[in-house]
Amino acid sequence: EASGHIRNTAGSAVTHEQKSKRWNVLKQAALRGALQAGQIGVHYQPVVAVKGHRIVSLEALARWHHPQLGEIPPGEFIPVAERTGLIVPLGQFVLRSACEQVMRWEQEGVPTVGVAVNVSPAQLEVENFAEQVRRILRDTGMPPHKLALELTESTFIANLPRHTQTLEQLRAAGVRVQIDDFGTGYSSLAYLRRLPIDAIKIDRSFVRQLGVDATDEAIVAAIMAMARSLRLTVIAEGVETALQLDALARHDCEAAQGFYFSRPLEPERCRQLLLDMSERPSFTDTLRIQLA
Ligand code: C2E
Ligand code: MG
Ligand code: MG
Ligand code: MG
């Protein structure tokens, strides 16, 4: 036992597999601790109307402020949360925080818009997910139509009928549902038609070359045609240039989200932006916030 421990700290007797397992246990423990210690926060990225550049909504994005490591990006900790089930409490936390934030702004007289929150497949698996969402809406006073839930296409592969039912309950309550990272999964028309959704977000991989590459423009045109026939709103993700925005306008895409307008902002900066936007006629100047 003791000699085993010594050999382990020396590293020699520990297999690569064991190491990676223990590393994962450490990450999981750190994330659990972070949730309890209040190190998880929420930033907000504006979603902007392609015509007129009004802010139409915000996307809530989880942030981990680690006391020693600084900001840990969601790409690092969301997969850990998903593997370990911690995504359920984390997702609940983000959802509640976003609703509380919007309602606090409303009470302070900050003109608010809706907020979109990412939902992982494991959250939909929770038996009473719809009820939990409704409880958060009740507790915070958030009007259901101001909340959108973002799900990826892969969410629906595993358990389509039950998920569809859950989402239908939420939509009946007024909550909006949108497909995130659209185009990266099984985007078949037949399946989209069956889903109770209001909007799709074009994945940024199709936006990157917009205005430069004709193939991407053709893909966006096809997505727009499909969305129109299904009466879905379209939001483009990852918009970084005026060229991309022009192409989206040509295809009558309704809304855009990306660094061209603003990075995800900490709550205080987002609050200031919402206030500025309500006072200025020139939305474009106000909106082009570039953070380092
Ligand atoms: P997502 O839901 O597709 O969110 C959009 C991501 O794109 C965000 O990354 C945002 O910062 C980034 N982004 C926005 N505009 C641009 C742009 O112009 N260029 C580029 N290159 N990126 C842009 P972020 O915040 O790092 O989040 C990454 C992913 O982590 C999210 O992708 C989402 O899938 C996941 N995530 C974040 N917060 C949560 C959460 O609370 N719950 C769940 N389940 N997943 C979350
Ligand atoms: Mg999203
Ligand atoms: Mg997502
Ligand atoms: Mg996305």
What residue ranges of the chain have pLDDT lower than 70?
1-12, 158-159, 187, 281-292
User: What does the pLDDT read at residue 2?
Assistant: 46
User: What does the pLDDT read at residue 14?
Assistant: 85
Per the structure block, which two tokens stand in for 1?
């036992």
Q: Measure the CA–CA gap between 98 and 39, rounded to whole angstroms.
A: 16
**Does ipTM top 0.90?**
yes
Per the structure block, which two tokens stand in for 228?
């129109």
User: What does the pLDDT read at residue 215?
Assistant: 92
Q: How far is the CA of 235 from the centre of ligand 3 (A)?
A: 13
Strands 40-49 and 255-256: antiparallel
**Which of 265, 246, 271 minimizes the C-alpha distance to 256?**
246
The SS3 call for residue 40 is: strand
Q: Find the helix or strand (DSSP H, E) in which 235 lies.
A: strand 233-236
Phi, psi of 186 (to 5 degrees): -95, 75
Q: Ligand 1 pocket check: which of 40, 65, 118, 260 to mutate, most ligand atoms within 8 Å of Cβ?
A: 118
